[in-house]
Amino acid sequence: MSHAVIELKDVMYAFPGRGNTLDGLNFHLHPGEKLGLFGPNGAGKTTMLHILMGLIKPQQGEVTLFEKTMQDGDCFDEARLKIGFLFQHSDDQLFCPTVLDDVAFGPLNQGLPPEQAKAKAMAALKTVGLEGFEERVPYRLSGGEKKLVALATILSMDPEVLILDEPTTGLSPEAKERLIDILHGLNMARLVVSHEPDFLAATTNRLLAMRDGRIRPGELKPHTHTHVHEEGDVPHQH
Amino acid sequence: MAALEEPFASGNSFIHRMDPRIRLLCAGMLTIPAALLNNIDQAIAALCIGTVLILLAQLPLHLVLKRLAVVNVFILFLWLFLPFSLPGEPLFAFGPFKATQEGINLAALITVKSNGIVLTLMALMGTIAIQDLGPAMQQLRIPNKLCHILLFTYRYIFVIYQEYTTMRRAMAARGFCPKTNTHTYKSYAWLVGMLLVKSWDRAERVHGAMRCRGFKGQFYSLAAFTTSKKDYAFLALCLGAIIAVESMGIIRSTLS
């Protein structure tokens, strides 16, 4: 197997005044892998993502990104440009006056000249099916549209890895379907954190469970369940 | 920007088409000396410059007046206190309070100066689209911290206001109606405290998200600024105007 693009080794993290949120966590993601991660609230999923992006510093343990061990805050700069991180709340991610400015923000930070950054931004908007949204105000879009714009803001950076933190929060079934369709068209390695088994089954091919600050050993395969609900005899979609 | 309307930035006058860096320079050049003026003639000249700039920028006048009105509400308070608190020649009296000529002069000076400055800023800075303001300020070597404070205040003041309304509604939904009692004061204190905590958390998350997209303190813009000969001419004109205003003061002091 090729080398992992993301590797966490024996990571410990505790918020002040609380027990260990992460307690000797080990994790790795290889190129092309599509991993799903689930676990109860407070299991440490978001903390783990923030540690591997270098947004918070673990008290112990090692973070290795693209085969480079991260020593301090600054070495993350380069690696971050290759990891597309979709935040749980789109409002945290979108801050520019227009959709185009927001989607071009990453490419401009990568050092591309404005013309190329704009071309990348347009291409990313096309990938998520939001052509014609360039001049719209991100703040005023619907929740589903905001999520897609946020996805475009990271796709425009041509990431090698996608990390999606509970991407379905607050989305309607239609918006979820759209997100799944877009993800089907993307080939980079991905890590999806979600509470929704159906969404994980549709977008990942291996599942990990997190509990008490560790990833539990043993593998789970995404699978579907039959289920019962009202008006189930009427043709419907999920 | 996203949350606040920018009615002044969308015009199409030659001021709107001017290089934002030149507009910023001119705004600084005209307003900083104007703020230091101390006689009324010069202040009136500064007010005239501001008015001319507003006309040149072809801003909707009713909006300009509306914003001026807000500024003048604050100035009204000066008129309530200044005439009665400065020592000098008494003009008239309300009971024990005597209004002095010096006080009235000072209040008038401040009124004229502030209106002139606000008009100038509306015409020159108000016409810069917010996405150009950051890069323009950074290219003029204004300290990064100042640029960030300005831009993010602009972006998030509305978000914070919305958090406030949401919490306020949630309180109302649980039967809270403000009265003059400890319960009300305590609840408001908690509301404000929570607002600070939430704003702080949000700022952290936004900053994290920006760093994830490679932000290192520098803003880049899709717009490439170019300075035309016309822009330089305007800069020279503004420089001339402020020198003229300043020399009014010099001439006056040599005459007297």
Which residues, other chains included, contact A34 with Cβ-Cβ below 8 Å and sequence gap of 6+? A189, A190, A192, A203, A204, A205, A206
Determine the Cα–Cα distance for residues B16 and B127; give it in Å rounded to an integer.
Answer: 6
Q: How remote is the C-alpha of B103 from its chain's centroid?
A: 25
Between A36 and B174, the more confident residue is A36
B174 in Cβ contact with B55 (< 8 Å)? no
Residue among A72, A94, A109, A161 with most chain B CBs within 10 A, to mutate: A109
Question: A4 at the B interface (CB within 8 A)?
Answer: no
Q: What is the mean pLDDT of residues A220-232?
A: 61
Of B131, B155, B211, the CB nearest to A80: B211
Q: Which amino acid is at B95?
A: G
Whole-number pLDDT of residue A182: 95
Whole-number pLDDT of residue B237: 93
CA A118 to chain B, closest CA, distance in angstroms equals: 7
| Structural domain spans, chain B | 14-128+226-255, 143-212
Whole-number pLDDT of residue B92: 82
Q: pLDDT band at A234, cuts 50/70/90?
A: low
pLDDT tens digits, residue range A158-177? 999 999 999 998 899 999 99
Whole-number pLDDT of residue B1: 35
Instruction: Judge whether residue A183 has pLDDT over 80.
Output: yes
Instruction: Judge whether residue A191 has pLDDT over 50.
Output: yes
Of B129, B202, B224, the CB nearest to A114: B224
Whole-number pLDDT of residue A35: 93
Instruction: Judge whether residue A230 has pLDDT over 90.
Output: no
Of A50, A96, A154, the CB nearest to B131: A96
- A37 strand-pairing partners: A193, A208
Between B224 and A191, the more confident residue is A191
Instruction: Judge whether residue A223 has pLDDT over 80.
Output: no
Q: How remote is the C-alpha of B78 from its chain's centroid?
A: 18
CA B212 to chain A, closest CA, distance in angstroms equals: 6
A37: phi then psi, degrees, rounded to nearest 5: -130, 125
Residue numbers in A near B210 (CB within 8 A) = 95, 105
Instruction: Judge whether residue B4 has pLDDT over 70.
Output: no
Question: A72 at the B interface (CB within 8 A)?
Answer: no
B interface with A, Cβ–Cβ < 8 A, is 1-3, 129-131, 155, 159, 202, 205-206, 208-216, 220-224
Q: What is the mean pLDDT of residues A145-153?
A: 94
Distances (CA, A) of A211 to A39, A161, A196: 6, 24, 16
CA B4 to chain A, closest CA, distance in angstroms equals: 10
Rounded to the nearest integer, the mean pLDDT of chain A is 87
CA A166 to chain B, closest CA, distance in angstroms equals: 15
Whole-number pLDDT of residue A215: 87
Residue numbers in A near B203 (CB within 8 A) = none
Q: What is the mean pLDDT of residues A73-89?
A: 86
CA B176 to chain A, closest CA, distance in angstroms equals: 28
Q: Which residue of A has its CA nearest to B130?
A: A97
pLDDT tens digits, residue range B129-140? 877 888 888 889
Instruction: Judge whether residue A74 has pLDDT over 80.
Output: no
3-class state of residue B116 by DSSP? helix
Q: pLDDT band at A84, cuts 50/70/90?
A: very high
Residue numbers in B near A106 (CB within 8 A) = 213-214
Q: Which residue of B has its CA nearest to A56?
A: B208
Query: Are the beta carbons of B205 and A117 separated by less than 8 Å?
Result: no
Question: A97 at the B interface (CB within 8 A)?
Answer: yes
The tokens describing A41, both together, are 């609230």
Query: What are the strands of the beta sheet with A161-165, ordered from one edge?
Result: A83-86, A161-165, A189-193, A34-38, A206-211, A214-215
Of A87, A104, A137, the CB nearest to B209: A87
Which residues, other chains included, contact B136 with Cβ-Cβ below 8 Å and sequence gap of 6+? B20, B21, B23, B24, B128, B225
Question: A46 at the B interface (CB within 8 A)?
Answer: no
Of A92, A138, A154, the CB nearest to B202: A92
Whole-number pLDDT of residue A160: 93
Query: Are the beta carbons of B222 and A81 separated by less than 8 Å?
Result: no
A163: phi then psi, degrees, rounded to nearest 5: -120, 120
Q: What is the mean pLDDT of residues A49-77?
A: 87
B215 in Cβ contact with A80 (< 8 Å)? no
pLDDT tens digits, residue range B190-218? 889 988 888 888 888 888 898 888 888 88
Instruction: Judge whether residue A232 has pLDDT over 80.
Output: no
A12: phi then psi, degrees, rounded to nearest 5: -120, 140
Query: Are the beta carbons of B2 and A139 separated by less than 8 Å?
Result: yes
Question: A75 at the B interface (CB within 8 A)?
Answer: no
Query: Are the beta carbons of A153 and B211 separated by less than 8 Å?
Result: no
Residue numbers in B near A116 (CB within 8 A) = none
Q: pLDDT band at A220, cuts 50/70/90?
A: low
Prediction ipTM score: 0.76
pLDDT tens digits, residue range B26-60? 999 999 999 999 889 999 999 999 999 999 999 99
User: For residues A166-202, b (16+ Cβ closer than 10 Å) or e, as one string?
Assistant: bbbeebeeebbebbbebbeeeebbbbbbbebebbbbb
Q: What is the mean pLDDT of residues A54-71?
A: 89
pLDDT tens digits, residue range B216-245? 888 887 877 888 899 999 999 999 999 999
Distances (CA, A) of B238 to A26, B38, B201, B227: 64, 20, 44, 16
Of A80, A92, A108, the CB nearest to B220: A108
pLDDT tens digits, residue range B150-166? 888 877 777 788 888 88
| CA-based nearest residue to B54, from B1, B102, B8 | B8
Between B84 and A184, the more confident residue is A184
Residue numbers in B near A91 (CB within 8 A) = 159
Instruction: Judge whether residue A218 has pLDDT over 60.
Output: no
Burial class (CB in 10 A: 0-12, 13-18, 19+), B219: buried
Q: Which amino acid is at A212?
A: D
Between A236 and A37, the more confident residue is A37
DSSP one-letter code for A55 = S
Whole-number pLDDT of residue A176: 93
Distances (CA, A) of B119 to B13, B60, B63, B107, B154: 16, 13, 12, 18, 19
Residue among B150, B166, B206, B212 with most chain A CBs within 10 A, to mutate: B212
Whole-number pLDDT of residue A133: 93
Determine the Cα–Cα distance for residues A224 and B222; give it in Å rounded to an integer.
Answer: 46
Determine the Cα–Cα distance for residues B35 and A147; give it in Å rounded to an integer.
Answer: 46
Residue numbers in B near A105 (CB within 8 A) = 210, 213, 215
Match 């408001």 to its residue by tokens: B188
pLDDT tens digits, residue range B175-192? 787 888 888 898 899 889
Whole-number pLDDT of residue A227: 60
Q: Which residue of B has its CA nearest to A158?
A: B213
Whole-number pLDDT of residue B160: 84
Most confident residue range from A202-206, A223-227, B133-137? A202-206
Q: Report if pTM > 0.90.
A: no
Instruction: Judge whether residue B6 has pLDDT over 80.
Output: no
